[in-house]
Amino acid sequence: MQDREKAFIRALIQSGATEGIGDDGVLIARDCAGYVVASDAFFEDVHFKRAWGSLEAIVEKCFAVNLSDIYAMNAIPSFCLLTLALPNGFKEVGRLANVIGKCALKHRIKIIGGDTIAGEKLHFSLTILGKRQGRILTRKGIKKGDILGYISPNSVLTHCKTQAFGGNIKALKTALRFHKNSKIQSNTRFAKPILYPKMLLRLNGIARVGMDISDGIFMELSRLSRLNHLGFKITKYKGEWLYSPEEYQMLYAIPKMRLKKMKNLAKQYRHAFIPFAQAVCGRFMESKRNWHA
């Protein structure tokens, strides 16, 4: 699927009918009142299984996945378009609507439209509009010598053990092997990613480039390499953290001179900024496939 996705996006861009593709979202107005728009799908048996958790858990993760894109570009979510496919025989329509409404209110988002259709499985598609907060943070602009790092909690007050970066690959493998038809541990980052928007909006101001990590760092680096025409030298021992998917933590590129400032600010929010690579001449190529493939 990943190769087909790349081919489709590449061909669509070549058609001349696109703008802004390649970032977590796109800025649709270039003045101070502009909005960032991001859209993501969350499909049953592709991104989740019904047996893995309650409707509340599924909806919360669906929103988190989309909100992460908005925060990653330095914006605050305000409005949402919701497209929903309901399976035939689905008997919890009223409850699902209530769960979605409560989740939107929790995140201070107004649902302003969308579509509802019948389908074979439960599918969500959210398009979120976020109000820009100063400079928009994109994936392009890395310079040779820049330090790349990711964010991870480092305190029990930030659910360190269950929310720490790099654990999702193990959680996913366990879910696929042992929990195909049963619930998975609900307090893991894979089941329930927790976002820290106040921290992210401050860290965004230090970074030169940023993006949320959805497919694993090894794939995100390949995307950044193509966009910035640079390679990356891994400076941290390679482990599962490099391939862990659906983290929805931030990957930042910063000038070397801002490293101490980045670490100190993350520490104020009981998180750690962990450097793992440096931008160099060349190209970075992924060596593993997306787990969705």
Can you tell me which residue has the tokens 């378009």?
81
What's the rounded Cα separation, in Å, for the pair 126 and 82? 5
Given a cut of 80, whether residue 15 has pLDDT beyond it is no
The pLDDT score that the predictor gives to residue 16 is: 62
Which of 17-31, 172-186, 216-230, 258-272 has the weakest average pLDDT?
17-31
Structure confidence at residue 4 (pLDDT): 59
Confidence of residue 26 (pLDDT cuts 50, 70, 90): low
- The CATH class given to the 146-280 domain equals alpha beta
Residue 43 phi/psi, 5° resolution?
-110, 140
**What per-residue confidence (pLDDT) applies to 182?**
78
pLDDT for residue 21: 57
Categorize the per-residue pLDDT at 1 as very low, low, confident or very high, splitting at 50, 70 and 90. Answer: very low
User: What's residue 213's pLDDT?
Assistant: 94
Q: What does the chain come to in residues?
A: 293
pLDDT given at position 293? 37
Q: What percent of the chain has pLDDT over 70?
A: 85
Architecture of domain 1-132: 2-Layer Sandwich (3.30)
Instruction: Please tell me the distance from the alpha carbon of residue 154 to that of residue 264, in angstroms, as a whole number.
Output: 13
* Cα dihedral 23, 238, 248, 182 sign: positive
Q: pLDDT of 124-143, one tens digit each?
A: 999 999 999 989 999 999 99
Residues pairing with 150 in the sheet: 251, 274
> Tell me, what's the pLDDT at 225?
95
How far, in Å, CA of 186 to CA of 182, rounded? 12
Q: How far apart are CA 62 and CA 42, in angstroms?
A: 6
pLDDT in tens, 34-78: 888 898 899 999 888 988 989 999 999 999 999 999 999 999 999
1-132 shares its CATH topology with 146-280: no
Q: Is the pLDDT of residue 88 over 90?
A: no
| Domain map (residue ranges) of the chain | 1-132, 146-280
Q: SS3 letters for 72-108?
A: HCCEEEEEEEEEEEEECCCCCHHHHHHHHHHHHHHCC
pLDDT-derived band at 20 (thresholds 50, 70, 90) equals: low
Burial of 284 (0-12, 13-18, 19+ CB in 10 A): buried
Q: Which residue has the tokens 């025989």?
A: 89
- Mean pLDDT over residues 189-197, rounded? 91
Binned at pLDDT 50, 70 and 90, residue 173 comes out as confident
Of 278, 160, 273, 154, residue with least CA distance to 206: 273
What would the pLDDT profile of 150-169 be if each residue is shown by its tens digit?
999 987 766 777 888 988 88
User: What is the pLDDT, as a whole number, of residue 224?
Assistant: 95
Higher-scoring residue by pLDDT: 232, 88:
232
